[in-house]
Amino acid sequence: MKKSLMIGLAAASVIALSACSAGSDTAPAGSDALVPVTVGVIPIADTAPLYLGLDQGFFEDEGLDLTVETATGGAAIVPAVVSGDYQFGFSNLGSLMVANDKGLPLKLVNAAVASTGDVTSDMGALIVKGDSPIKTLADLNGKTVSTNSLNNLLDTVARSTIDSAGGDSSTISFVEIPFPDASAAVENGQVDAAFVVEPFVTAAVDNGNRVLSYDFAEFADKLDIAAYFSSAATVANDPELVTKFQAAMTKSLQYAQANPDAVRAIIATYTKTPAEVLAKIVLPTYPTEFNVPAVTALGEAALKYGVIEKAPDMSTFLP
């Protein structure tokens, strides 16, 4: 179910893409009016900087009256951005590479979240039962592994790290199970392993499961996981709006990176994560620039494993 968070002036109507094209969403010079803008996100730790930016007034400072619409995933966010219902959206890079490969008119505008790069403690991990005989990635040969979405970011990264560790990912059955259900699927033997992200990594370990590998960190140092994006029409026809959003988002990311306690506190306001779990989760990093070599490697892996038909050109894919 979606919910809205409004700041600034009284609730205003969401601007349509046609309005963006006409330029009517930009306040006249010298006007104190805020420009109403909507961004679609997933309510997870990765999007904490956006909520912090709202709380700190960074978007108001840039003249934006921002509405946050939450969704369960990019499948709902991408079409809403393309249609102009949302001016900006949040999605993982795997989904955005698939969208780019299919020719959808989307443009990345901001970095959003990256792994810690620490192979001993990261925000995403492959988990197995505590007493599982699986001890290495190569032991997953012939096994069943869950991710939240097939032919996307997580199974691409998992396949790559398994193959790099001497395993054969072509022998593995990947199945789609939502993050909240993945730990139970491991515990009841429905799957042999699951690729989950925080807070589900910490929750799984608390339930007696074991981390097999921190695959994001194994794949690349501080791999970008997701990005904020807009429609090609908005980027082309309303560059001022995009620039304002980028400026506010950059301040938000910097603030989040410098204030981990504030990140944990804000997550509690828009998720149902228990306080004891929030206190222990491994936070991601919040970069203001993309790690181009890591994103390039991700594109090459997505191509290798058939997720996309052509690796994205980083000179046009990244902002």
Chain segment 188-240, per-residue pLDDT in tens: 999 999 999 998 999 999 999 999 999 999 999 999 999 999 999 999 999 99
Domain end among 197, 219, 241: 219
Q: Are residues 112 and 232 in the same domain?
A: yes
156 lies in the same domain as 301: no
% the chain with pLDDT above 70: 90
Q: Are residues 9 and 109 in the same domain?
A: yes
Q: Are residues 195 and 98 in the same domain?
A: no
Q: Domain limits at 164?
A: 124-219
Quote the tokens at residue 313.
């050109």
104, 233: one domain: yes
Domains: count for the chain: 2
DSSP H helical segments within the chain, as ranges?
Answer: 17-22, 48-56, 58-61, 74-83, 93-101, 153-164, 179-187, 200-206, 215-219, 232-237, 239-258, 260-270, 275-278, 292-304, 314-317
Q: For the residues 249-266, what does the mean pLDDT come to?
A: 97
The residue assigned the tokens 């219902």 is 85
CATH of the domain at 156: 3.40.190.10
For residue 27, what pLDDT is reported? Answer: 42
- 164 in the same domain as 38: no
Same domain, 310 and 237: yes
